[in-house]
Structure 1
Amino acid sequence: MATDTLATAVPSWPRRHGGKLLIAIIALVWLAFVAPGSPVLRALVQWSPALATGFAQNILISLLAITLGSLLGLLVGALGLSPLWLVRLPSRVWVQLFRNAPWLVLIYFTTYVFPFEIVIGHTYIPFPDWIKVTLGLALPASANVAEIFRGAIASIPSTQWEAARSLAFTRGQIFRSIILPQCLKRMLPPWMNLYAVVTMGTALASLVGVHDVIDTAQIASNTVNQTGFTVIVYFSLLALFFAYCYPISRLTHYLERRYAFS
């Protein structure tokens, strides 16, 4: 009995206390390198506004990418539910292509395939790299949203469709009034988890020249040129991403438990 209890308790420990452990590790490293009045602390304070501005760029990219990806993914997912195979086939190809493509390759693809500016008449409209990165992240996001949508639809018992048809509801009425409201709350937890992953994926933006928080940290590290500052600035980035994504993860787990049997 004691062995079974221990076996059950041990796997749950990382889930309950993993976040606290990571916070403690970050705090210990912070204290090890940042002492009051030290040059590292002064440099970190000096670069903090620039790091915050860079992180805001990452958040902007993530929000736009998940918005575009969600809109496109819902459209692709709806096409995948069509009874016509000619309509389903492009949807399936889209999902399989962009779900299994490396995100970095997609970011390079959108960065170098799309033009640097768009010419409309005699007007030149710039097409900045951060928008191209947003499109590069929106592509895999759309494929994942389409799959989340398909899974939510498939999770609805077929008896609900049959019961609604027996009440003379049309297919559109069944979908709008019965199926879609249930799908939305079932889609919310995996959608939030996907957003957290997209946010972490924005760290790739610096590889194509976007001035985000990673690029800012590299400039700061090269400018200050101190080992202690380099270590602490990247731990600060870890803390920023963790502080933003961890609450999303916890809320996702809460919603999964809440909607598990609904």
Structure 2
Amino acid sequence: MTYSMNTKTDLPVILEPKYREPDAIGFSRWLASMPPWVLPTAAVAMILWPAIAQAQSVYSTEKIMGIMAKWLPLLVTQGFLMNVVISFFTMLIGTIAGVFVGLGRVSDNRMIRAISWLIVQLFRNSPWLVLLFIVMLTLPFEIRIAGTYIPVPDWMKAVFGLSLPVMANIAEIVRGAIQSVPSAQWEAAQSLAFTRRQIMWQIILPQCFKRMIPPWMNWYAIMTMATPLVSLLGVTELVTLSRQAMEAEGNNPSLLMPFFGFALIIFFAYCYPIARLTMRLESKFAVKG
């Protein structure tokens, strides 16, 4: 007796629920979805803002443009450059630590797995600003080594504070990439008498690098956008210098849009190409089903 696979029934059937994995590059996908004309439009708005606000200000458009021209070199070389430096070292430290924590998440040692899980949950679900305050208030201003005092600048404390949530999220990227490798490859390697360490470092991890690049770049863009948080702790970067420049010029309301508009534009101009490249690499390295 045979049964047809297309047999219909009017009986209630419980379908398997559909589960969607969280989007690992959601921020880059959103940023890259913006049309290219957004950047020039924002630039035009920043330029025209002094003319719009001139009726409520004693500053003329020419004077505001002169003020911006005077401060722009400082904002770029000592302001935004510091944001880039902080984001670079944050991702460097967070990536190195995150790789080890991610490997701990898939360790065959139950204690290591538990500790790694706790680290990920603690720093992944903690407010970034709270972590920054804790690190800034906990770490010393200088370290004594062999009788020599080595100062610890505020930006280095900010790097350490921001690297904690980055570490937790990179660890999840590593764990997800490892678990995405088909289990048949583990079984085949074990049948060839490979040790677990050899399987991980010689077979599994080389396949994970391409899968981890797009979400890693997504987190770099997020990290760069988050660096202005350190201005609340007194670290000298773009937003801090913008506030200081406006205070030096009399705190006129007409300066708000040009200075902070410039900050918006330069961050967008830096992160938008990263988002576009992330989308391209995600499509290139996607696992074909």
TM-fit CA distance, 1:135: 0.3
TM-score, length of structure 1 as denominator length:
0.89
1:189 and 1:70 map into 2 onto residues whose CA distance is 14
1:261 partner amino acid: V
Structure with more of its chain in helix, by fraction: 1
User: Match for residue 73 of structure 2?
Assistant: 49
* Distance change in 2, residues 1:223/1:19 (3 Å): farther
* Distance change in 2, residues 1:63/1:15 (3 Å): closer
1:179 partner amino acid: I
2:32 and 2:163 map into 1 onto residues whose CA distance is 32
1:31 partner amino acid: I
1:113 and 1:68 map into 2 onto residues whose CA distance is 19
1:196 partner amino acid: A
User: Match for residue 202 of structure 2?
Assistant: 177
The yes-or-no answer on 1:84 pairing with 2:83 is no
Task: In structure 2, list runs of 5 or more residues that go unmatched.
Answer: 1-29, 52-59
- Contact 2:46–2:257 (Cα < 8 Å) also in 1: no
Number of aligned residue pairs: give it. Answer: 249
Identity %: 45
Map 1:186-205 → 2, pairs under 5 A: 186-205=211-230
CA RMSD, 1 decimal: 1.9
Match of residue 100, structure 1, among 109, 119, 125? 125
The yes-or-no answer on 1:164 pairing with 2:189 is yes
User: Match for residue 180 of structure 2?
Assistant: 155
The yes-or-no answer on 1:25 pairing with 2:41 is yes
* Distance change in 2, residues 1:121/1:172 (3 Å): closer
TM-score, length of structure 2 as denominator length:
0.81
Deviations 1:193-219 (Å, cap 9, x if unpaired)? 111111111101111111111100001
User: Match for residue 66 of structure 1?
Assistant: 91
* Distance change in 2, residues 1:251/1:82 (3 Å): same
Of residues 207-216 and 33-42 in structure 1, the stretch that sits farther from structure 2 once superposed is: 33-42
* Distance change in 2, residues 1:19/1:135 (3 Å): farther
User: Match for residue 242 of structure 1?
Assistant: 268
1:178 and 1:45 map into 2 onto residues whose CA distance is 55
2:215 partner amino acid: P
TM-fit CA distance, 1:153: 0.6
1:67 and 1:214 map into 2 onto residues whose CA distance is 23
- Contact 1:33–1:40 (Cα < 8 Å) also in 2: no
